[in-house]
Structure 1
Amino acid sequence: MNVDGDILLDRGTFQGNIHLVSARVDDTLSIVKIKQEKVTFPLYLRLLYPFIKNIKKNPITSLLQKEYQTIESHYMKIDLQFARIGRLRDDEQSWPEKNNLNLDGFIYQKLGTDDNIKVLKDAKTRLKWLRLQPEFFPQTYEQLAEVLKKEGDPDAATEILIHKERDIRPKLNRLSKFWNRFLDITIAYGYKPTKALVWSSIFISIGWNLFALGYDNCSNSISNNKCLFSPASEISPYT
Structure 2
Amino acid sequence: MPAGSLTGAEQELWDAYPRGTLVDLTDRPDREVGAAVIARLLLGAAPAEDGHIPAVRLRGAVVTGMLDLTAGDVECSLRLMECVLDAAPSFRNTRIRELMLLDCALPGFLGLGLRTEATLRFDRSVIDGQLELRRAQLAGGLILNGARITAQDETFAVFASGMAIEAGLFARDARVTGGMRLAGSRINGGLFLEGATLANSGRFALDGHNLVVTDALECSHGFSAEGTVKLRGARVEGTVSFDRAARLSAPGGLAIQLSHSDVAELILTPREPIEGVVSLSYARIGVLLDQTDVWPAQLRLDGAVYESLRIGDPEQRLDWVNRDPDGFRSQPYEQLSAWALRDGREDLARRAQLMKFRRRRRSQPPHTRFWGALLDVTVGYGYRPWLAAAWLAVIIAAGTVVFSLVPPRPIKEPAELPDFQALVYVVDLLIPIGAFGLRSAWDPVGWTQWAAYGIIASGWILATALIAGVTRVLRPG
TM (norm. structure 1) is 0.67
CA deviation after TM superposition for structure 1 residue 170, in Å: 1.7
CA deviation after TM superposition for structure 1 residue 231, in Å: 7.8
Which structure carries more strand by proportion? 2
Q: Distance in 2 between matches of 1:140 and 1:214?
A: 53
Pairing 1:1-239 to 2, within 5 Å after superposition? 1-10=234-243, 11-16=245-250, 17-26=255-264, 28-35=265-272, 75-96=275-296, 98-99=297-298, 101-112=299-310, 119-122=312-315, 125-134=316-325, 135-215=327-407, 229=411, 232=414
CA deviation after TM superposition for structure 1 residue 230, in Å: 6.8
The equivalent of 1:56 in structure 2 is: none
Question: Are 2:273 and 2:293, in contact at CA under 8 Å, matched by a contact in 1?
Answer: no
CA change 1:233–1:203 in 2 (3 A) is: farther
Q: Distance in 2 between matches of 1:132 and 1:25?
A: 22
Q: Distance in 1 between matches of 2:416 and 2:328?
A: 64
Q: Distance in 1 between matches of 2:376 and 2:410?
A: 40
CA change 1:234–1:121 in 2 (3 A) is: closer
CA change 1:228–1:197 in 2 (3 A) is: closer
Q: Distance in 2 between matches of 1:24 and 1:233?
A: 80
Which structure carries more helix by proportion? 1
More contact order relative to length (CA 8 Å, sep ≥ 6): 1
Question: Are 1:33 and 1:93, in contact at CA under 8 Å, matched by a contact in 2?
Answer: no
SS in 2 for 1:76: strand
Greater shift in the superposed pair: 201-210 or 137-146: 201-210
CA deviation after TM superposition for structure 1 residue 206, in Å: 3.4
Q: CA RMSD in A?
A: 2.4
Question: Are 2:261 and 2:283, in contact at CA under 8 Å, matched by a contact in 1?
Answer: yes
CA change 1:173–1:76 in 2 (3 A) is: closer
Per-residue CA deviation, residues 204-223 of structure 1 (Å, 9 max, x unaligned), is 333444443343xx6xxxxx
Question: Are 1:105 and 1:140, in contact at CA under 8 Å, matched by a contact in 2?
Answer: yes
Per-residue CA deviation, residues 156-181 of structure 1 (Å, 9 max, x unaligned), is 22112111111112211111111111
What is the identity, as a one-letter code, of the residue corresponding to 1:107?
A: V
Question: Are 1:81 and 1:106, in contact at CA under 8 Å, matched by a contact in 2?
Answer: yes
SS in 1 for 2:263: strand
Aligned length: 178
Structure 2 unmatched ranges of 5 or more = 1-233, 418-477
Q: Distance in 2 between matches of 1:210 and 1:107?
A: 55
Q: Distance in 2 between matches of 1:88 and 1:140?
A: 14
TM (norm. structure 2) is 0.35
CA deviation after TM superposition for structure 1 residue 131, in Å: 2.5
CA deviation after TM superposition for structure 1 residue 36, in Å: 5.2
Structure 1 unmatched ranges of 5 or more = 38-74, 114-118, 219-226
